[in-house]
Structure 1
Amino acid sequence: MDVTTRPGICRICSAHCGVLATVTDGKLTKVTGDPDNPMFQGYTCVKGRALPEIHNNPLRLLQSQKRAPDGTYAAVEAQRAMDEIAAKLQQLIDTHGPRSIALYLGTNGLPYPASALMANAFIRAIESPMFFTANTIDQPGKQIALAAHGHWLGGDVDFHEADSWMLIGTNPLVSKAIGIPGQNPARNLKAALARGMQLIVIDPRRSQTASRAAIHIQPLPGEDVTIVAGMIHVIIREGLYDSEFLVENVDGFDALTRAVAGFTPDYVAERADIPEQQLLDAARLFATHGHRPGMVNAGTGANFAMHGNLLEYLCLCLTTICGRWQRAGERVTRPNTLMPAFEAKAQPHAPYEGWGYGERLRVRGLTDAVCGMPTAALADEILLEGDGQVKALICIGGNPMAAWPDQRKTQRALESLELLVTLDTEMSLTSRLADYVIAPKMQMETPAMTQGSELIKYYTSGTGIPAAYAQYSPRLVDPPEGSDLTEEWEFFLGLAKRMGLELWFVNFFGGGGGRFMESPPVVVNFNGDTEMTTEELFAHMCTNSRVPLEEVASHPHGKIFDVDAIVHDRDADCSARLDVGNAYMMGDLGDVRTDDFRATRSETTFPLRLIPRRHGSFMNSSGTNLSALNRGKAYNPAYMHPAAMAALGLENGALVTISSPHDSIPSVLEADDSLRHDVIAMHHAFGGLPAEDHEVRDRGSNVGRLVPTDTDFDPITGMPRQGNIPVNITAGFVNAIG
């Protein structure tokens, strides 16, 4: 028996945990945390430890698949599939123009930076503007807010040094996403609390993170804007802001003061249904606690409700008026390692154009924006006939039938396409509708590096690696014998060669759709004769890295490098200023204040509010069919407070119908006393096709089906209301809609 154990990198999420991978007779058999990794120190989550089951899943595709006219699938050689797909794409472009081709990049494509960037290079090469990502159906307000507010070039406050922190609608102990550093979040929070950090959490649920907070505000869903505006009101009224920082760096303070004037503590307490004193305590604690106060981060739960752009903007405003950014002489929190070095400065980068430019969609007046094209409108662009109609869609690392809002519309759209191609490890809901399913290599069959985990610092404050840490891992296991697998980036290069395209592979080191750049991009030109391995492409991507890739690779367990990076003084001629009074955002805040919330809540047809909830064992729709992860429960329950269940005469485990004004789904009730009585919570990205609702106890149900895309949507990003959904619950299930 041949057994080897070597260090590697888990890429299930953006944390990129350092792991130890055991390969037995050429098969991945065990994955554990790597105790010799200096950043993770032996940590990995249940998803990472299940990588052997994920790799060896009996449902895994080992050959690409082609759909026959009768709807059945048969194996097709990958090179032949590329021939046929390239020919069909060229035919559609010749007949309908480049806009007829769209590409969707899902969350699972992001840990493979070469794949995402090559997909983008391909869509640009055919001159199609129709490049969509999961960003605009999750938290696009983060980029919109940064464009309106501007960037602080000194960077974030370090969580490991802060005396206070505030989290809104996020549970990083499970999601490992925002706020608490995702490199072993439980350990990081425990250490912070031990040194005296005071944590504030705003969440309708007493989550794992909220249960550790000094102050947990448990409001009605959808009132996060109200609460943050109320906190800003208190801080301004009581003079707790950093006046010196404002004078030197900030515009719009008077406009912000006027806009929050109506968000008095008594008004906020009534509207959000929280104790007034709790709001006052939270505002004062955040503004004054300790000699090294921290920052504020909002997550998916808060952004899924309406006004995500405004919420993220107010979070930045709260951070800024309290002066919560790294100052001159302080250590740079995220100094870059496999990205280029940069000179952090204690000064603003001015706001920039964030929306209303570029490609204009044919529906709802939506345009391109710094967060990307509005994904919630893509189904309409497929279904709407006429000039510019999308005829072909390529999906990489995503599962639209599970993730997109309005599942029935999504299904109609995907079934109407002339060409649907997915790159998928198994026959997911979307792949079951595809014309071609390209079978890719999996994590440990490809090389890995942590540059992608560094890059997400441009996504929002509170993300990225808070140290000069990096790791590189070679391929640790060969693909299964007899398989025909390709890497995603090679698929797009293969299409380009067949279509005679020249690809300009651009690795951006910045955010805002290229409007905010910290370092120059790395550009690699691919023509028809280019041959390159993933290892060679990684080397190109790291051409200008602070620490050479070869040096990183010489430390197989990863390394925190000795980088002495401090924030430099402000440039003498710097005139840029951050903006906390953006006119659009202040207008939106005014609309929130004049909203007749009392009348809205008097409506009793849909008395409950449905909120999202992260699942610790799954990354969106991935892995739900694996017993190592689902532990016998492959469905997503509807969590509800036991007292609320009793009031409706419902029992734990009962089958129920959850209805919104748009549609209905079946679900299985599960008691959870961490919730408010008027709230239910469900995990997203579960369920089958609408015709498979009878399998709810085997696969769960699709929450996105309750969400329409053309009402209650953000006018900039197109993202519909996907949290704080008005619903009711009745016993049993009869699907009478659709």
Structure 2
Amino acid sequence: MSTTTKPGICRICSAHCGVLATVVEGKLVKVTGDPDNPLFKGYTCAKGRALPEIHNNPHRLLHSQKRQPDGTYGPIGAERAMDEIATALQNLIDRYGPRSVALYLGTNGLPYPASALMANAFIRAIESPMFFTANTIDQPGKQIALAAHGHWLGGDIDFHEADSWILIGTNPLISKSIGIPGQNPAQSLKNAIDRGMKLIVIDPRRSQTAARAAVHIQPRPGEDAAILAGIINIIITEKLCDWRFLEENVDGFDELAKAVSGFTPTYVAERADIPADQLIDAARLFASYGTRGGMVNAGTGANMAMHGNLVEYLCLCLTSICGRWQRAGERVTRPNTLLPAFTAKAQAHPPYEGWGYGERLRVRGLTDAVCGMPTAALADEILLEGDGQVKALICIGGNPMAAWPDQRKTMRALESLELLVTLDTEMSLTSRLAHYVIAPMMQMETPAMTMGSELIKYYTSGTGIPAPYAQYVPRLVEPPRGSDLTEEWQFFLGLAKRMSLELWFVNFFGGGGGKFMESPPIVCNFNGDSALTTEELFEKMCATSRIPLDEVRSHPHGNIFDVEAVVEQKDPDCTAKLDVGNAYLLGELAEFLAEDFRSAHSDSAFPFRLIPRRHNNFMNSSGIALPKLNRGKPYNPTYMHPDAIAELGLESGALVTITSPHDSIPSVLEADDSLRRDVVATHHAFGGMPTEDDEVKDRGSTVGRLIPTATDYDPVTGLPRQGNIPVSVTAR
């Protein structure tokens, strides 16, 4: 029996853990942490360890599928599918123009670093502006805030060296994402607390991360902006700012001070339903504890509860008035490795245009922005007849029926398309509506490198690899015998060849939609190069890497390279400053202050607020049906405090209906005393079609059905209220 165990990279999330993969007779049978990986040191999570089950899922598509006239699906060769799709796309472009074709990129594009970039190259080649991503239904405020505030070119403070840190509406011990480094976050937090770091967590739930905090503020949902403004006000009032940093590097301080002056401890305490003394303690602890202060990061919970742009901006303002950025002479926290080298400097990159430019959508006055096109408006663009109507949609690494807000509208939109194409490993909810489903290769069947994990730092502060680390691994397993699979990026190259398009691949991520990067993007031309392999493509992508790809390859378990990168002094002629006085966002803060919050919190028809919650075993809708991951619970419960359950005369495990002002969903109650009594929580991206509610214990339910897109939305990003949702809970 042929058995091999080799180093690999898990790419389920952006952490890109180094793992060991065991293959027996050509089949992936085991994945464990790699003890010889110098960064991860044997760590991996439940999702990574389940990669064999994910690869060998009996429902996995081994051939692409085409919808038949009777609505059933039958196999179609990948090359034949590309022929037909290319012809259909060209016909639509000829009839309706390039804007009739849209592309949606979901989070499951992360495992394949070339896929998103080639998809973007394709949509630009047909001259369609309709490129949408999961970013604008998740945390688009991060890029909006960076554009308004500016970037600090010295980079982030290292979590491993900080004396204090604030996390808002995020649980990185589970999400492996923002704030605590995703490379074994539990161990990183334990080490930090053992050396004396004080963690401050703002979260309506006593999450796994909050349980380890020195201060856990447990507010009403949706009051994160009030708490941040209150902390800033206390720090300014008590003169705890870094005055020298402010004078040299920050504009707008007087405007910020005036804007937050109404957020007194008494006001914030009443509004957020928290102790005023706790707010004061958190402000003083963050501003003055220790000699090496930390930073402020907000997550999905804070961004989805409305005012996400403002929350992210106040996080940056708080960071800057306390001077919490790397200074001249200090080590660069995230030096590039597979990306080109750059020179970090102790100076600002000034604010830039963040929204209101480029393509203008036909609904709600929305435009393109640094965070991308407003995904919550895409269903409207499909349904709204007239010039510019979207007639075709290609989904890569995403499942809109489970992830987008307003599930019923999403379903009407997808069913109305003349062409819907998904690239999917199984017949997901969205693929069940598609005309073509392209079956792709999976993680261990393709080569991998950690460039994607490096790139994520341009998304926001507190993300990326906090070391000059890189890893490359070859293909570790062949596709199943008899299968017909393609790599996602090759699908777009195949379409381009058939449509006689010239593709220009621009290698960048986030950072203001390409407006800001420390180093120039890599640009490649792929005109007619259909024989290109992924290995050759990686060579092109890494042509200007700080550490040559060949050198990275020579360390199969990954390596922390000897990179002497320190922050250099400010340029003598630099006059750029960070801005904490942005008129638009401080205007939003003034409107927030003027809200009648008392009435908002006293609606007897909807007495609870629903918040999102990450799941340790799933990355959005992936893997929910796998027994190893769902452990007998393939549904998303509605978590509720046991006292609140008792007051309703219900029991944990009861079937209930969750109703918002927009719609309702079935659910299963589960007692959880980590929540406030007026808050319920559930996981995103579960559920079936709207007609499958009786299968709630087999599938869960789709939170997106509770969320309208055309009311209560952000006017810049289009992000609707996806957290802090008013709901009632009744017996079903």
**Does TM, normalized by the shorter one, top 0.5?**
yes
Q: In structure 2, what is the equivalent of residue 594 of structure 1?
A: 594
Correspondences of 1:603-682 after superposition (within 5 Å): 603-682=603-682
Amino acid corresponding to residue 327 of structure 1 in structure 2: R
Q: In structure 1, what is the equivalent of residue 429 of structure 2?
A: 429
Q: Distance in 2 between matches of 1:267 and 1:235?
A: 16
Q: In structure 1, what is the equivalent of residue 66 of structure 2?
A: 66
| SS of residue matched to 1:358 | strand
Q: Are 1:200 and 2:200 an aligned pair?
A: yes
Whether contact under 8 Å (2:460, 2:511) holds in the other structure is no
Whether contact under 8 Å (2:143, 2:460) holds in the other structure is yes
Q: Are 1:94 and 2:94 an aligned pair?
A: yes
Q: Distance in 1 between matches of 2:600 and 2:227?
A: 18
| SS of residue matched to 2:508 | strand
Q: Compared with structure 1, are the counterparts of its residues 510 and 542 closer, same or farther at alpha carbon in structure 2 (3 Å cutoff)?
A: farther
| SS of residue matched to 2:598 | helix
Q: Distance in 1 between matches of 2:443 and 2:107?
A: 15
Q: Distance in 1 between matches of 2:240 and 2:677?
A: 35
- Cα offset, 1:515, TM superposition: 1.2
- Cα offset, 1:110, TM superposition: 2.2
Whether contact under 8 Å (1:509, 1:520) holds in the other structure is no
- Cα offset, 1:517, TM superposition: 2.3
Q: In structure 2, what is the equivalent of residue 407 of structure 1?
A: 407
Q: Distance in 2 between matches of 1:509 and 1:311?
A: 22
TM-score (norm 1): 0.99
Whether contact under 8 Å (2:204, 2:220) holds in the other structure is yes
Q: Distance in 2 between matches of 1:223 and 1:60?
A: 43
Q: Distance in 2 between matches of 1:514 and 1:425?
A: 30
Q: Distance in 1 between matches of 2:586 and 2:120?
A: 34
Q: In structure 2, what is the equivalent of residue 715 of structure 1?
A: 715
Whether contact under 8 Å (1:339, 1:509) holds in the other structure is no
Whether contact under 8 Å (2:456, 2:509) holds in the other structure is no
Q: Compared with structure 1, are the counterparts of its residues 645 and 155 closer, same or farther at alpha carbon in structure 2 (3 Å cutoff)?
A: same
Amino acid corresponding to residue 410 of structure 1 in structure 2: T
Q: In structure 1, what is the equivalent of residue 165 of structure 2?
A: 165
- Cα offset, 1:371, TM superposition: 0.1
Q: In structure 2, what is the equivalent of residue 75 of structure 1?
A: 75
Q: Are 1:688 and 2:693 an aligned pair?
A: no
- Cα offset, 1:418, TM superposition: 0.1
Cα displacement string for residues 120-179 of structure 1 (whole angstroms, at most 9, x for unaligned residues): 000000000000000000000000000000000000000000011010000000000000
Whether contact under 8 Å (2:459, 2:509) holds in the other structure is no
Q: In structure 2, what is the equivalent of residue 288 of structure 1?
A: 288
Cα displacement string for residues 404-441 of structure 1 (whole angstroms, at most 9, x for unaligned residues): 00000000000000000000000000000000000000
| SS of residue matched to 1:514 | coil
Amino acid corresponding to residue 556 of structure 2 in structure 1: P
- Cα offset, 1:530, TM superposition: 4.7
| SS of residue matched to 2:74 | strand
Q: Compared with structure 1, are the counterparts of its residues 116 and 529 closer, same or farther at alpha carbon in structure 2 (3 Å cutoff)?
A: closer
- Cα offset, 1:518, TM superposition: 1.2
Q: Distance in 2 between matches of 1:347 and 1:717?
A: 29
Q: In structure 2, what is the equivalent of residue 519 of structure 1?
A: 519
Q: In structure 2, what is the equivalent of residue 188 of structure 1?
A: 188
Q: In structure 2, what is the equivalent of residue 494 of structure 1?
A: 494
Amino acid corresponding to residue 266 of structure 2 in structure 1: D
Q: Distance in 2 between matches of 1:600 and 1:156?
A: 37
Q: In structure 2, what is the equivalent of residue 444 of structure 1?
A: 444
Q: Distance in 2 between matches of 1:434 and 1:530?
A: 26
- Cα offset, 1:599, TM superposition: 1.8
TM-score (norm 2): 1.00
Q: In structure 1, what is the equivalent of residue 35 of structure 2?
A: 35
Amino acid corresponding to residue 116 of structure 1 in structure 2: A
- Cα offset, 1:513, TM superposition: 1.1
Q: In structure 1, what is the equivalent of residue 333 of structure 2?
A: 333
Q: Distance in 2 between matches of 1:577 and 1:615?
A: 40
Whether contact under 8 Å (2:371, 2:510) holds in the other structure is no
Regions of 4+ moved over 6 Å: none
Q: Distance in 1 between matches of 2:509 and 2:587?
A: 32
Whether contact under 8 Å (1:510, 1:519) holds in the other structure is no
Q: Distance in 2 between matches of 1:409 and 1:165?
A: 40
Amino acid corresponding to residue 116 of structure 2 in structure 1: A
Whether contact under 8 Å (1:509, 1:519) holds in the other structure is no
Q: In structure 2, what is the equivalent of residue 736 of structure 1?
A: none
Amino acid corresponding to residue 646 of structure 1 in structure 2: A
Q: In structure 1, what is the equivalent of residue 533 of structure 2?
A: 533
Whether contact under 8 Å (1:658, 1:729) holds in the other structure is yes
Q: In structure 2, what is the equivalent of residue 317 of structure 1?
A: 317
Q: In structure 2, what is the equivalent of residue 243 of structure 1?
A: 243
Amino acid corresponding to residue 173 of structure 2 in structure 1: L
Whether contact under 8 Å (1:383, 1:413) holds in the other structure is yes
Q: In structure 2, what is the equivalent of residue 46 of structure 1?
A: 46
- Cα offset, 1:689, TM superposition: 0.3
Q: In structure 1, what is the equivalent of residue 107 of structure 2?
A: 107
- Cα offset, 1:528, TM superposition: 2.0
| SS of residue matched to 1:225 | helix
Q: In structure 1, what is the equivalent of residue 119 of structure 2?
A: 119
Q: Distance in 2 between matches of 1:52 and 1:731?
A: 39
| SS of residue matched to 2:285 | helix
Amino acid corresponding to residue 411 of structure 1 in structure 2: M
Amino acid corresponding to residue 336 of structure 1 in structure 2: N
Whether contact under 8 Å (1:337, 1:546) holds in the other structure is yes
| SS of residue matched to 1:513 | coil
Q: In structure 1, what is the equivalent of residue 218 of structure 2?
A: 218
Q: In structure 2, what is the equivalent of residue 343 of structure 1?
A: 343
Q: Distance in 2 between matches of 1:448 and 1:483?
A: 21
Amino acid corresponding to residue 268 of structure 1 in structure 2: V
Q: In structure 1, what is the equivalent of residue 369 of structure 2?
A: 369
Number of equivalent positions = 732
Whether contact under 8 Å (2:252, 2:581) holds in the other structure is yes
Amino acid corresponding to residue 186 of structure 1 in structure 2: A
Q: In structure 2, what is the equivalent of residue 705 of structure 1?
A: 705
Whether contact under 8 Å (1:509, 1:521) holds in the other structure is no
Cα displacement string for residues 166-214 of structure 1 (whole angstroms, at most 9, x for unaligned residues): 1000000000000000000011001000000000000000000000000
Amino acid corresponding to residue 662 of structure 1 in structure 2: H
- Cα offset, 1:510, TM superposition: 6.2
Q: Distance in 1 between matches of 2:722 and 2:340?
A: 37
Whether contact under 8 Å (1:509, 1:518) holds in the other structure is no
Whether contact under 8 Å (1:7, 1:20) holds in the other structure is yes
Q: Distance in 2 between matches of 1:475 and 1:544?
A: 23
Q: Distance in 1 between matches of 2:110 and 2:353?
A: 25
Q: In structure 1, what is the equivalent of residue 562 of structure 2?
A: 562
Amino acid corresponding to residue 538 of structure 2 in structure 1: F
Q: Are 1:485 and 2:509 an aligned pair?
A: no
| SS of residue matched to 1:294 | coil
Q: In structure 1, what is the equivalent of residue 308 of structure 2?
A: 308
Whether contact under 8 Å (1:227, 1:279) holds in the other structure is yes
Amino acid corresponding to residue 71 of structure 1 in structure 2: G
Q: In structure 1, what is the equivalent of residue 234 of structure 2?
A: 234
Q: Distance in 1 between matches of 2:220 and 2:190?
A: 28
| SS of residue matched to 1:174 | helix
- Cα offset, 1:531, TM superposition: 2.5
Amino acid corresponding to residue 674 of structure 1 in structure 2: S
- Cα offset, 1:527, TM superposition: 1.2
Whether contact under 8 Å (2:142, 2:459) holds in the other structure is yes
Cα displacement string for residues 377-429 of structure 1 (whole angstroms, at most 9, x for unaligned residues): 00000000000000000000000000000000000000000000000000000
| SS of residue matched to 1:502 | coil
Q: Distance in 1 between matches of 2:497 and 2:338?
A: 29
Q: Which moved more, 1:628-637 or 1:510-519?
A: 510-519
- Cα offset, 1:509, TM superposition: 6.2
Amino acid corresponding to residue 653 of structure 2 in structure 1: G
| SS of residue matched to 1:518 | coil
Q: Distance in 1 between matches of 2:377 and 2:67?
A: 26
Cα displacement string for residues 427-460 of structure 1 (whole angstroms, at most 9, x for unaligned residues): 0000000000000000000000000000000000
Q: Identity of paired residues, percent?
A: 80
Q: Are 1:258 and 2:258 an aligned pair?
A: yes
Q: In structure 1, what is the equivalent of residue 25 of structure 2?
A: 25
Amino acid corresponding to residue 72 of structure 1 in structure 2: T
Cα displacement string for residues 300-345 of structure 1 (whole angstroms, at most 9, x for unaligned residues): 0110101000000000000000000000000000011000110000
- Cα offset, 1:529, TM superposition: 4.5
Cα displacement string for residues 215-271 of structure 1 (whole angstroms, at most 9, x for unaligned residues): 000000000000000000000000000000000000000000000000000000000
Structure 2: runs of 5+ lacking an equivalent:
none
